[in-house]
Amino acid sequence: MGVSPSLEIAKRALIAQRLGLDATSGNIANVNTPGYSRRAPTLSEGEPLPSRNGFVGNGVLVSKLRTFREEFFDRQIRRSLSHLNTLETDETFIQRLAVIFGEPAENSLNSIISDFLNSFEDLSYKPTDVSLRQRTVNLAQSLVARFKEIAGQLQDTRQQILNDINDNVNQANKLIKEIADLNFKIASNKSKLEGDNQTLFDQREAKIEELSKLIEINITQGDFGTVNVFSNGINLVTGSNYNQLKLKETIDPTTTERTLSLLKIDRNAKELATVNLQNGKIFSLIEHYNITFDPKDSSGKFSVATTLEQYFATLVNKVNFFSAIGYGLDDLTSPPPGRQIFTFSGTLSIATTNVNSEIVSDARKLPISGFPGENGDATIARQISALANDNTFLGGQTPDEFLTNFIGQIGNLGDQISSLYTVAKTANEQLLNQRESLIGVNLDEEAINLMKFQKAFEAASRVVTTTNDILSTLVNLGR
């Protein structure tokens, strides 16, 4: 056996230690890169060479650069992210509802309705006081204005949700394409060192996690390191092939209710299937668009906008029912003029309703008397004020009880979402931590690795130097 094997062994050692140094450098460089999975060279002893004195070691080999990623944690984190983003989006909109309704401020919708109904109590004992009548008319206008303001803000929010959904669907489509592209690159690079692919794996996992924030997805393994992406059974990515998502708005011909759904389309924009989401930001946004903020929701679920419309319509109908048979100060003969306090054009809704312009221009026309020519009669005023205690007003409750419970329902929903969010966030952090403890970079460890590979590299260099000295000695033997 000659001297040259030592040089070969030293060369391999230099390569191996250099690779170790490169991996360590990469780890240190990516210490703050989200989703980065640390790398470490897998070293193995070379096949020993036979010699007259037995088998002699053949140095070190780098079989691959290994990573520590585990599918179990990735899968759990994806699920957790979908759930977390659903709740995070829900929480945002509940907070927005609190702002829209001005809760828990003192001057809320309840107080405006109480003031309006109480003003009829004042009129019940001073029905001829035109300034009091004017005050009631002003309160009716304030009431309508407040409802319109709330309904307008709900509508604005709904419009904003639609924009958000469009943005997020575009983002999801971009991610779907990127995942398919990465699948293609991974499959193409399969023949190369697995370590090279690992960056692509990390990048793809980061994209998958981003996608799982938007829609709930399931991942299955494909050929050549590729993955297939499904959302509630609908295949979105298969290898390098992918389908895009499209938002579709349908309008009910009877109720004109606008409903959004998410569809899978092909490259020619042909609709292939409906993606029924159960989790993720887009799911939450669609739910809020279709239910929470939809003023014509027919799902039977808790819709803030629909409930508000129902409440308003009930109030208007009941007040109008009484006022239609009432007489104003100058209505001296039967039959009653049929002058309702609220008027609306077309279908009764918050947007179409206003205080009767006749009454606005002349408060004397406020129909609070039950008999013509009897200006001191306040039968109608008392009937309207009694609505405050009418426990059949809506849902077997008085107007205030209903509204209070309605606000309470929003609060309870928010409280429930907030609790679930806290739990989901904690669970997500635990999963991230567990995965981090496996794949994350520890700078102390890397410092040790750096020293370890540096020393080994120095030693291997020394072997080269020593071997070189020996060879020089041998070469100079004959001189």
Partner 1 sequence: MRVTQFSKYIPIQSSIQEIQSRKYLNELRLATGKQVVDITETPNLLVQKKRFENQISQQQQYKKNIEYSINFLQHTSETLGSIADNVQKIRDIAVSATQVGVAQDVSTLGKQIRYLLEDIVQNLNSDFDGQFVFSGNLLNTESITTPPGSTNKLPYEIIQETPTVENPSGLKVIFKGNTKKLVVNTSKISSEIINTTADELFGDETLSSLNKIIDLYNLLTYNKDGTPRGEKDLFNPDDLSKLNNYQKEIGKLYDKINAANSRNGALINRFEALKDQSASILTALEGYKSSVSDADYAATTIQLNKDQTALQFTLQVAARLTQTTLFDFLR
| Chain contacts with partner 1 (rule: CB under 8 A) | 31-32, 94-95, 97-98, 101, 103-104, 106, 108, 110-111, 114-115, 118, 121-122, 124-129, 329, 373-378, 382, 385, 388-389, 400-401, 403-405, 407-408, 410-412, 414-415, 417-418, 425-426, 429, 432-433, 436-438, 440-444, 447-448, 451
CB of residue 408 to partner 1, shortest distance in Å: 4
Distances from the Cα of 419 to the Cα of 74, 85, 413, angstroms: 24, 14, 10
398: tokens are 């008085």
Contact of 24 with 445, CB cutoff 8 Å = no
What residues contact 76, with CB distance under 8 A and at least 6 apart?
431
Distances from the Cα of 15 to the Cα of 84, 197, 420, 457, angstroms: 45, 20, 52, 8
- Please say which residue, 28 or 265, places its beta carbon nearer to partner 1: 28
- Please say which residue, 286 or 417, places its beta carbon nearer to partner 1: 417
- Please say which residue, 129 or 223, places its beta carbon nearer to partner 1: 129
Distances from the Cα of 95 to the Cα of 148, 163, 415, angstroms: 20, 19, 10
- Please say which residue, 323 or 375, places its beta carbon nearer to partner 1: 375
Burial label for 348, CB within 10 Å (0-12, 13-18, 19+), is middle
CB of residue 411 to partner 1, shortest distance in Å: 3
- Please say which residue, 122 or 210, places its beta carbon nearer to partner 1: 122
Cα–Cα distance, 370 to 376 (Å, whole number):
10
- Please say which residue, 306 or 385, places its beta carbon nearer to partner 1: 385
What residues contact 449, with CB distance under 8 A and at least 6 apart?
20, 23, 24, 27, 40
CB of residue 385 to partner 1, shortest distance in Å: 7
- 3-class DSSP string for 434-468: HHHHHHCCCHHHHHHHHHHHHHHHHHHHHHHHHHH
CB of residue 186 to partner 1, shortest distance in Å: 25
CB of residue 77 to partner 1, shortest distance in Å: 12
89: tokens are 């989006």
CB of residue 348 to partner 1, shortest distance in Å: 25
- Please say which residue, 57 or 376, places its beta carbon nearer to partner 1: 376
CB of residue 308 to partner 1, shortest distance in Å: 15
